[in-house]
Amino acid sequence: LMASATVDKLSASSVSVSATPQMQCLQRPALAKPAYARVAPKLRAAPIAAVPRSTSVSTWTHGTEVADAVHAVRLASRLCQVVQKQLGASEKTDKNDDSPVTVADYAAQAVVAWALSRSPAACQGGRLSMVAEEDSVALKAPEGRAMLLRITDLINAVLVEEEGAVTLSPDDVIALIELGDSQGGANGRHWVLDPIDGTRGFVGMRQYSVCLGMLQDGEVLLGVLGCPNLPQGQVGDEDGHTGSADRLSGSDGIGALFLAHRGQGAYAVPLHGPKDLSDMQRVTVHDMTDMAGARFMESFESRHSDHSFTAAVAKEMGVTANPLRMDSQVKYGLLSRGEASIFMRFPPPSYKEKIWDHCAGFVIVEEAGGKVTDAGGNRLDFSKGRYLALDRGIIAAPPKVHAELMRAVEKVGATRKVQAAAGGGGGGGGGG
């Protein structure tokens, strides 16, 4: 398999990767303690002046973990950007649930596990506990060997400039991926990772995100979203379309990262900005009472959410704009910085939501002042293991909009139940 020119160039450099077969948490040099600015969201068309912030991330209870998470997500995002530009047919396959998986999904998971396992602050009890999407079963099969070797090359190329180390072997990569097999739960610390949320978008040259959250005793304490194809400023409907990555890639102002720490707010920075996050900006949701001006978001593909139901809810609310359809948790990021006011997701009733599809975005929206609940108004509970127990679907919005959204969901859902009982169809997301 041929690597891209970028990967070839990196591979030619001396590799300095720190890997441990047992994946123990290793000491790493102390990070600088930056002073951050607290500012309003930056829009591409009209940046807003900064507002001084009296605290820095070094004073946060889990400030070191935030810095570790940002570093891990940036490394994984860099890898994904290289792969998306030259993804070949032999570098992707379908899982048992018919969802795609690529070399980048596996490689990004291993990179994040590698970065976190080096940090004592990221681990408790000397071992990293991570709830992640991918497993290594297919890669350990004989027919998966070529893909495993490709993944190993990609990882070593991206880690070449990291301080300290040795080249990773295929066995090291398998061990890193398998660190994601934690079941999570209500006790202890668990990192929650979706290495590529929106793999269909990734393959379709659309939006995707690298999503990392941290659970402590069942509560989401921090989250980081890396969004390589997302404009740092205003987003148009076309920015979620198939092929949009070809247009956006390499342009100024493309690539956003969102982060949040429980009790300290939500922030946005350029994806590959300064290591000290000195350009960090505070973001907040945009609440409103006039729903005609609201912008609502939903999944790009209808297999992920009932578009007819969300359209009916939007109409009931008085929303007049067309939906902004995008893959992945980038929608949580856009909601947190006020570019949209509604996110709805109503998958088929048989679908079980995984915690990695919402963990990072959940805390970012909450810390930006928004609400994320199921359709019954229940706050999402990440303490039950790898899956969420939900009433129908997920809705997210600023508080005033959320209240109106709840009303509309119940009304449209009740109408559909009556229609279904009368034999008139209309089943779907709000019907049970």
The model's pLDDT over 192-228, given as tens digits with 9 standing for 90+, comes to 999 999 999 999 999 999 999 999 999 999 999 999 9
199 a catalytic residue:
yes
Q: Is residue 1 part of a domain?
A: no
pLDDT at 421 (0 to 100)? 86
Look up the domain containing 222 and give its range. Answer: 64-88+98-282
* Structure tokens, 333: 């990021």
pLDDT of residue 35: 30
Q: Are residues 383 and 271 in the same domain?
A: no
Point out which residues pair with 243 in neighbouring strands.
Answer: none
105 is catalytic: yes
Q: Residue 56: its pLDDT value, please?
A: 83
Note the pLDDT tens digit of each residue in 108-161. Answer: 999 999 999 999 999 988 889 999 999 999 999 999 999 999 999 999 999 998
Q: Is there a single domain that holds both residue 226 and residue 369? A: no
254 and 145 in a common domain: yes
Do 360 and 216 share a structural domain?
no
Q: Please identify which of the residues 68, 105, 153, 374 carries the catalytic annotation.
A: 105
CATH number of the structural domain spanning residue 361 = 3.40.190.80
CB distance 60 to 261 below 8 Å: yes
Q: Active site residue: 199, 239, 310, 374, which one?
A: 199
Domain membership flag for residue 18: no
239 annotated ligand-binding residue: no
Residue 76 forms part of a structural domain: yes
| Predicted local distance difference test score (pLDDT) of residue 98 | 54
What pTM does this model have? 0.85
Q: What per-residue string of b and e applies to 241-268 under the rule 16 or more CB within 10 Å gives b?
A: beebbeebeeeeebbbbbbbbbebbbbb
Strands of the 265-270 sheet, one edge to the other: 130-132, 189-197, 209-216, 219-231, 254-261, 265-270, 281-283
Q: Are residues 130 and 275 in the same domain?
A: yes
pLDDT confidence of residue 92? 57
Is position 94 annotated in a ligand binding site? no
Q: What is the pLDDT of residue 250?
A: 73
- Asked if residue 301 belongs to a domain, the reply is yes
What's the structural domain count of the chain? 2
**What pLDDT is attached to residue 370?**
98
- pLDDT at position 50, please? 36
pLDDT at 161: 87
Up-side HSE of residue 306: CA atoms within 13 Å toward CB? Answer: 27
Residue 22 lies in a domain: no
Compute the distance between CA of residue 130 and CA of residue 127 in angstroms, rounded to an integer.
10
pLDDT at residue 293, as a whole number: 87
Does 3 fall in a domain?
no
Which pLDDT score is estimated for 425? 56
Residue 196 among known ligand-binding residues:
yes
**Any known ligand binding at 194?**
yes
Q: Is residue 246 part of a domain?
A: yes
Domain endpoint, select from 254, 282, 310: 282
* Parts of the chain with a pLDDT under 70: 1-55, 88-98, 302-304, 424-432
What pLDDT, on a 0 to 100 scale, did the predictor assign at position 43?
35
